[in-house]
Structure 1
Amino acid sequence: MKKLLLAGAVALFGLSNAQMTKGDWVISGNTGLGFNNTTTTVKVGSQSADGPKTNIFSVSPSAGYFVIDGLAVGIDLGYMSTTTKYEGNKTTNSTFSAMPTATYYFMNSSKLVPFLGAGIGYASNKTKVNITNGGTIFDPLLMQDEVTTDGLAWKVKGGVTYMATPSLGINLGVSYDQFSNKETIMNTDVKTNVKTFGVNVGFSYFIKAKAQKGDK
């Protein structure tokens, strides 16, 4: 009887990792909790200024394929939106990103599965500005109500997935994203660097690979 109970317990815990093996798929969707912190630094010519820190909303759907046990390679999509008011000025900012990523799940006998991941790709950042205070280093940009910039983006992420069922996991993690762009406006070099650190929650759905002929 003891051996039977032990075998049943091992099988139960093993189910949590049964769908993180080579050939399986994972589909995830994470959402920012609302206290993500963004710091923006803009350099115009030789002058620079730090923008305000602000809360943002974010959503990050992703899909991955397990190339080996525990390692999923795929793509992360991201969307962030925020409205910031600072010294009488109002800025509405939205960013879309697409990044090939790799995520490693540290499989074990528990239902809590830690993970780490990283990715690099493309991002497009759109900013709408309504400036009521003039006389700043941003004066060369005052004529533009809306500015769109494209550039390089990369991210790192980590956390833990709780396997509520053999197929459904609940994610709790942190992530750090960075977007960089450099362009010339009115013969002046303008560099934009957006850094985002956030705490995220979401779900992951693991899809077991179809059994091949001859598998038992």
Structure 2
Amino acid sequence: MKLFFTICAFFCCVVIASAQTEQGKFLFGGNSNMNFSSMNNKWKSDDGDEDLGSTTSFEFAPQVGYFVADGFAVGLELPIGMQTEKDKDDNKYKTNRIAVMPFARYYFGENNVKPYLHGGFGFGSMKYKDVSASAESKWKTFVYGVSGGVAIFLNNNIALDLGVGYQSVTLRPDEDRDNDPRRILSSVAFNVGFSISL
């Protein structure tokens, strides 16, 4: 995390006098998919309380893109996610996932506050590990997502992104077998992130 904030601080010091989203510029960012959460699960009743365990997760989606036209960028996004769960019996489970997603993003307007639309799809993998039982399974993933919001440009290069997005992830076992079930996860989330155009 320290490295991430150091990189952000470095880019915040870069100021180049040019248009914010003009053709020929590069786009770097964590595009509104950056979040960290930690959750404790408890059961409360008249008979007493019970600790059901805890979940810690981290998600981040670094991006690099190129403005092929004024306000319109295409590029690659690398969604990365990690989750650790511990149940009431201290059994531990870990999930790691990564994908590669081509994306397109369009900014509207010429002001310092620009609405945007963003969409992408791609493929990846997920590994689920039962640490206590030393067992793991691997899954193939297909991911797509769309989002929209506003980019608030703090100067000519750095923008704070605020938006809402929908994402769907389809999971299949890594080893294809007949009648293997698919698992589909979908979510809608409010997101905060950043982007840098140079």
TM-score normalized with structure 2 length: 0.70
Secondary structure of the equivalent of 1:161?
strand
Secondary structure of the equivalent of 2:109?
coil
Give the whole-Å Cα distance in 2 for the aligned partners of 1:114 and 1:150.
34
CA deviation after TM superposition for structure 1 residue 164, in Å: 0.6
Contiguous gaps of at least 5 residues in structure 1: 1-14, 37-53, 133-143, 208-216
CA contact (8 A) 2:128 2:136 kept: yes
Q: What is the RMSD computed on CA atoms of the aligned residues?
A: 3.3
CA deviation after TM superposition for structure 1 residue 130, in Å: 5.2
- Pairs aligned (count): 167
Amino acid paired to 1:115: Y
Tell me: CA distance 1:182–1:165, structure 2 relative to 1, closer, same or farther (3 Å): same
Amino acid paired to 1:202: G
CA contact (8 A) 2:140 2:172 kept: no
Contiguous gaps of at least 5 residues in structure 2: 1-15, 39-54
Alignment-derived partner of residue 97 in structure 2: 95
Structure with greater contact order relative to length (CA < 8 Å, sep ≥ 6): 1
Tell me: CA distance 1:16–1:120, structure 2 relative to 1, closer, same or farther (3 Å): farther
Give the whole-Å Cα distance in 1 for the aligned partners of 2:148 and 2:182.
29
CA contact (8 A) 2:99 2:143 kept: yes
CA deviation after TM superposition for structure 1 residue 17, in Å: 8.6
Alignment-derived partner of residue 193 in structure 1: 184
Residue-by-residue CA offset, 1:64-100 (whole Å, 9 max, x unaligned): 1112221111111110111234575643111101100
Give the whole-Å Cα distance in 1 for the aligned partners of 2:99 and 2:176.
24
User: How do 1:1-216 residues align onto structure 2 when only pairs under 5 Å count?
Assistant: 18-30=19-31, 31-34=33-36, 56-85=57-86, 90-109=92-111, 111-129=112-130, 145-183=135-173, 188-207=179-198
CA contact (8 A) 1:177 1:195 kept: yes
Secondary structure of the equivalent of 2:28?
strand
CA contact (8 A) 1:76 1:100 kept: yes
CA contact (8 A) 1:35 1:199 kept: no
Tell me: CA distance 1:108–1:92, structure 2 relative to 1, closer, same or farther (3 Å): same
Tell me: CA distance 1:91–1:176, structure 2 relative to 1, closer, same or farther (3 Å): farther
CA deviation after TM superposition for structure 1 residue 32, in Å: 2.8
Give the whole-Å Cα distance in 2 for the aligned partners of 1:81 and 1:195.
17
Give the whole-Å Cα distance in 2 for the aligned partners of 1:34 and 1:76.
18
The structure with more radius of gyration: 1
Counting aligned pairs with the same residue, the percent is 30
Tell me: CA distance 1:202–1:156, structure 2 relative to 1, closer, same or farther (3 Å): same
Give the whole-Å Cα distance in 2 for the aligned partners of 1:64 and 1:32.
17
Give the whole-Å Cα distance in 1 for the aligned partners of 2:22 and 2:110.
12
Give the whole-Å Cα distance in 1 for the aligned partners of 2:23 and 2:61.
24
